[in-house]
Amino acid sequence: MSRPTWTSARAAVRRRRGPDRLPPRLRLRPPAVALDLALAAAFLAALLADRFGAAARIGGRMPLALALSVLIAAALGARRSAPLAGYLAGSAALSAEALFVLPSQVSPYANLVGLYSLGRYATRARARLGPVVVLLGMAAYFSGTGHRVPVLPAWVLFVWLLAWALGYGEARRQEEREAARRVLRAQVVADERVRIARELHDLVGHTLNVLLVQAGAARRLLDRDPERTRGLLGTMEHTGREALEELDRVLGLLRRDEPDLSPGLAQLGSLARRMEQAGIQVTARVDPAAYRLPRPLDLSAYRIVQEALTNTVKHGRAARAEVSVRRERDVLDVEVRDDGVGADPGCAPGRGLLGIAERAREFGGSVEYGAGERGGFRLHAVLPIPRAAEAVAVR
């Protein structure tokens, strides 16, 4: 069997992810080291050309001049991996040229690149040494050329400090962007954890409450009506299987490579039948226009109704419940009523009602709940429909 080649592996990834979604490790980009070495080689070639062009003036100092040129170029090769050490080495070589050989016309530009790299790639503490090193190196350089240090290099000092400031400022902006990205990633992870917890709470809580009600009914009927008990047990089995299928769909969404098959308002009929098996007669009236909603809103509306009915089973001791879903232009109106015992005075909302409120806030909506006008419990949610997605058909 032949081994898979790089080309075949890359093609397999492209078939799976698409041509524009290759993982970063498979994207061919020239590494930074190669770029720095190419820059160093270019400067070395320019420095050598300059040195050999001035061979008559350099004379017997040519070996030292060539060694210093190599050191200046090599310092640029380490401008990212060791920016402070590279700049110190380059500045020392530049000063030695002026003091012991002959100032090169190319060396100052290499030093300028090194100074920018010091501000850009060094740590904050090391980068701040740049202005100090510049002053010392410039004093040594101009003393070697015979210039009057306090007068002539003023504009040169400004240009060199400007290069350092550009690199230092870019580094700090990059740090701020990275910090902002980390905060954003942490917020996305936290929001995703809340979303998953809410989905699992709605799914598992609803199913367990329905199963508990059915199990209680089966226990009471076990001796008196075995045939009806057998029917209740079959219903419990069916409810459990449906719950497992929906749980598998919820967990499948975490893989990101499986289709979104989570329920929506079109499944309210199945939800109503499950609630009737738990002993509550549910009447659901859904505006036909409400079946054409953006997918996230469709799912949230279904979960709101599901959680409201679950609370009815768990707390309301109701015999009937009414569900009304209406779409009025760019607003979805969801209302659930029951004929149970209603809300206790001063009762604090639990995870279910808090989850409903969170779902509504995601769309800029609102939720009201409490005692109904004719008794029982009433929940009313208003969910704005995003304008950009009004034409999206989900069914």
Token duo for residue 270: 């199945």
Quote the DSSP letter at residue 387: G
Pairing between β-strand 377-384 and β-strand 366-371 as defined by DSSP bridges: antiparallel
Count of other CB atoms within 10 angstroms of residue 298 = 23
Task: Return the percent helix, strand and coil in the chain, to nearest 5.
Answer: 65, 10, 25
- What distances in angstroms separate CA 152 from CA 91, 133, 165, one per listed residue? 19, 18, 21
Highest mean pLDDT among 68-72, 209-213, 272-276: 68-72
Encode pLDDT of 219-274 as tens digits: 777 777 777 777 777 777 777 777 776 677 666 656 655 555 577 888 888 888 87
Average per-residue pLDDT for the chain: 78
* Angstrom distance (rounded) from CA 76 to CA 90: 8
Query: What are the two backbone dihedrals, phi and then psi, of residue 5, each rounded to the nearest 5 degrees?
Result: -90, 170
Task: Provide the pLDDT confidence category of residue 206 given band limits of 50, 70 and 90.
Answer: low
* Angstrom distance (rounded) from CA 219 to CA 226: 10
> Which residue in 311, 310, 362, 377 sits closest to 332, CA to CA?
362
> Which residue in 268, 301, 287 sits closest to 385, CA to CA?
301
Superfamily of domain 186-389: Histidine kinase-like ATPase, C-terminal domain (3.30.565.10)
DSSP string, 328-369: ETTEEEEEEEE-S--PPTTPPP-HHHHHHHHHHHHTT-EEEE
The residues near 299 (Cβ < 8 Å, ≥ 6 apart) are: 262, 263, 264
pLDDT of residue 164: 92
* Angstrom distance (rounded) from CA 42 to CA 220: 90
Encode pLDDT of 144-199 as tens digits: 654 444 444 678 888 999 999 999 999 999 999 988 888 887 776 676 667 667 66
Highest mean pLDDT among 81-90, 206-215, 222-231, 284-293: 81-90
Encode pLDDT of 317-337 as tens digits: 788 889 999 998 889 999 998
Residue that the structure tokens 């007669």 belong to: 281
- What distances in angstroms separate CA 72 from CA 47, 86, 151, one per listed residue? 9, 9, 27
- Asked if residues 329 and 318 have their Cβ atoms less than 8 Å apart, the reply is no
| Domain positions in the chain | 1-27, 31-152, 186-389
